[in-house]
């Protein structure tokens, strides 16, 4: 079974959002980079997905004109098997990624990136519904604290735990970096 790593929205744009925090960044980058390195060493394709949206002005960090729609500083360098730019939450909507994955014979996706509960979770659910096996590597995803509708804080760690809980066994297998790499190698 051919596996492919998706590195979703790991881009400088986030540093320019008011909610950005470096609190979980070093641990996330260590896990994300280990996952990338492991996939590259195993000969698995690694796909870069970037997010661009909103007004195409230099002041919008998610606009191509901003110069921030590029790899996040600290992300391991890698030669992407393909790069896609998305304009929706799922990396499979309007990007050509679905066609590319099918043409490459990919049957399992390993999902990683930013934000855990947003683009990573949405892509995972979508991929599962389309028939891919999905490994969701929570430690190789990053999110940020949020404020609930009642005004109370919702910590990034709680968001990640909730995402893992609702995905595991339903839309994905929640894995560590080592588990995802072992699963991909075992079925290659």
C-alpha distances out from residue 161 to 41, 126, 155, 157, Å: 29, 20, 10, 6
CB-CB neighbours of 163 under 10 Å: 23
pLDDT by residue for the chain (188 residues), tens digit each? Answer: 999 999 999 999 999 999 999 999 999 999 999 999 999 999 999 999 999 999 999 999 999 999 999 999 999 999 999 999 999 999 999 999 999 999 999 999 999 999 999 999 999 999 999 999 999 999 999 999 999 999 999 999 999 999 999 999 999 999 999 999 999 999 88
- Distance from C-alpha of 37 to C-alpha of 151, rounded to nearest angstrom: 40
Tell me which residue range forms the domain holding 124.
2-186
Q: To which residue do tokens 């000969």 refer? A: 43
Which CATH number characterizes residue 30's domain? 3.40.50.850
178: nearest Cα among 25, 4, 38 = 38
Task: Write down the pLDDT at residue 187.
Answer: 86
DSSP character at residue 63:
S
Count how many domains the chain has: 1
């Amino acid at each position: 079974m051919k596996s492919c790593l998706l590195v979703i929205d790991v881009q400088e744009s986030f540093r320019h959002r008011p909610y950005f925090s470096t609190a979980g960044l070093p641990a996330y980058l260590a896990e994300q980079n280990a996952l990338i390195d492991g996939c590259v060493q195993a000969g698995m394709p690694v796909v870069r997905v970037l997010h661009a949206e909103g007004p195409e002005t230099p002041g919008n960090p998610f606009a191509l004109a901003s110069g921030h729609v590029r790899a996040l500083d600290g992300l391991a360098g890698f030669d992407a098997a393909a790069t896609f730019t998305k304009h929706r939450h799922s990396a499979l909507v309007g990007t050509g990624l679905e066609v590319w994955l099918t043409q490459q014979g990919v049957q399992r996706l390993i999902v990683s990136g930013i934000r855990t509960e947003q683009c990573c979770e949405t892509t995972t659910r979508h991929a599962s519904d389309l028939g891919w096996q999905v490994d969701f590597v929570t430690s190789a995803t990053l999110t940020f604290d949020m404020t609930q509708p009642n005004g109370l804080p919702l910590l990034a760690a709680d968001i990640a735990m909730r995402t893992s809980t609702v995905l595991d066994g339903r839309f994905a297998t929640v894995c560590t970096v080592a588990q995802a790499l072992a699963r991909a190698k075992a079925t290659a």
